[in-house]
Amino acid sequence: MGRSPCCDKIGVKKGPWTPEEDIILVTYIQQHGPGNWRAVPAHTGLRRCSKSCRLRWTNYLRPGIRRGNFSDKEEKLIIHLQALLGNRWAAIASYLPERTDNDIKNYWNTHLKKKFGKVGEDGVGAGAVSSDSHQSMSKGQWERRLQTDIHMAKQALREALSMETPAFMTEVGKQPSSSHSGEFNSVLTRSQTMSSSSAAAAAATYASSAENISRLLQGWMRNTETPAPSGRVSTTRSSSESTQLSSNNTPVTPPVAAALPDDNRSKRPGGSGRSPFGREV
DNA sequence: AAGCTCGCCAACCGCGTCTGA
DNA sequence: GTCAGACGCGGTTGGCGAGCT
């Protein structure tokens, strides 16, 4: 099973994405949809690795993403799920549709690890259990274990949700997200069927994606009126800020925020994660 | 005011898994 | 059954900005 060469390192640009690149990528995805990442650099002319394109989209450009300001509920949920699932960030992220696995991972590493990292170290978390045990487990045992973990995670989540409406849901509610809780529940129950509403949602997704990027562009244009964003990171940071600003000032977050992450992951032909988590969950 | 240290986060890298030929 | 391509995931790193001395 040869490892993929990923990208021919020659001529492939690295480092922070510029707004122009973002626009090109979003435009392409708007037309063709996410997927077939291999073709993205070739068709768009982007001098980026396909992985980089996918990462940029899933972690940054994909609409419906909320960045920063994790609510208490989200924090608790992450802690709970981390204890149950271990460092399976993609699986955890599937319970927080508006957050990316990278974001959750970063948040855990920077904020929560210090506070709650010991929980895992003590072996309370399933992560500690699973990492050790699944080597000696048979496949059947491991799958049963997974199902148990999933069940526990669902239960924990339901408990968390039943206590009060999660802050992230209420916050989202401020924005015009029509059926967020419903979609969230569908995520919760892992109903993987791509309904026609999801298909319609996908269209809205791209529309709002374009909106996102146009706002991003506007912010960038304003910035370029003053000294141009010459610094590599500063450009990205400014774009990041403008994106965030847009989601704060105006409701950029689409109503389909919840639909995309799982649909994308589950529907993607080929490719999978390391563990069956996050897709079968 | 200048230099230093630390925290945060976007992005990269390597590996595992799945799928089709 | 085998192999190569494609994709997703988790760990890690690089660089900027904020806070501190």
| Predicted confidence (pLDDT) at residue A148 exceeds the cutoff of 50 | yes
Covered bases, chain B (protein CB within 7 Å)? 7-20
Written as one letter, the residue type at A221 is M
- The protein side of the strand C contact, defined by CB less than 7 Å from any of its atoms, consists of A 1-6, 35-39, 50-51, 54, 58, 87-91, 101-102, 105-106, 109, 231-234, 237, 264-265, 268-275, 277-279
pLDDT tens-digit map of A157-215: 666 556 544 444 443 333 333 333 333 343 333 333 333 444 444 444 444 455 555 55
Give every CB contact of residue A172 below 8 A, 6+ residues apart in sequence: A66, A98, A180, A253, A257
Strand B: protein residues, Cβ closer than 7 A: A 1, 3-4, 6, 13-17, 48-49, 51-52, 55-56, 59-60, 67-68, 102-103, 105-107, 109-111, 236-237, 240, 269-276
Residue range A72-115 forms a domain whose CATH class is mainly alpha
Who has greater pLDDT, A5 or A49? A49
- Asked whether residue A240 carries a pLDDT value surpassing 60, the answer given is no
- pLDDT per residue as tens digits for the range A257-277: 333 333 333 333 334 434 433
**Are A157 and A230 contacting, i.e. CB atoms less than 8 angstroms apart?**
no
* Model confidence pLDDT, tens digit, residues A63-118: 778 877 788 888 888 888 888 888 888 888 888 878 888 888 888 888 887 776 54
> Which nt is closest to the CA of A58, judged by C1'?
C8
Q: How far in angstroms lies nucleotide B12's C1' from the CA of residue A51?
A: 10
pLDDT of residue A75: 86
What's the pLDDT at A152? 63
For residues A52 and A2, give the distance between their C-alpha atoms in angstroms, rounded to a whole number.
Answer: 20
pTM recorded for the entire structure = 0.62
* pLDDT confidence tier of residue A129, bands split at 50, 70 and 90: very low
What was the pLDDT predicted at A59? 85
CA A229/CA A222 separation, integer angstroms: 11
Q: Is the pLDDT of residue A141 over 70?
A: no
Residue A23 reports pLDDT greater than 70: yes
Residue A48 pLDDT exceeds 70: yes
pLDDT of residue A156: 62
Q: Would you place residue A28 in the very low, low, confident or very high pLDDT band (cuts 50, 70, 90)? A: confident
Give the domain ranges of chain A: 19-61, 72-115
> Which CATH number does the domain A19-61 belong to among 3.40.50, 3.30.70, 1.10.3470, 1.10.10?
1.10.10
Whole-number mean pLDDT of chain A?
A: 59
Residue whose Cα is closest to the C1' of C15:
A233
Query: Could you please report the per-residue DSSP string of A47-65?
Result: -S-HHHHHHHIIIIISTT-
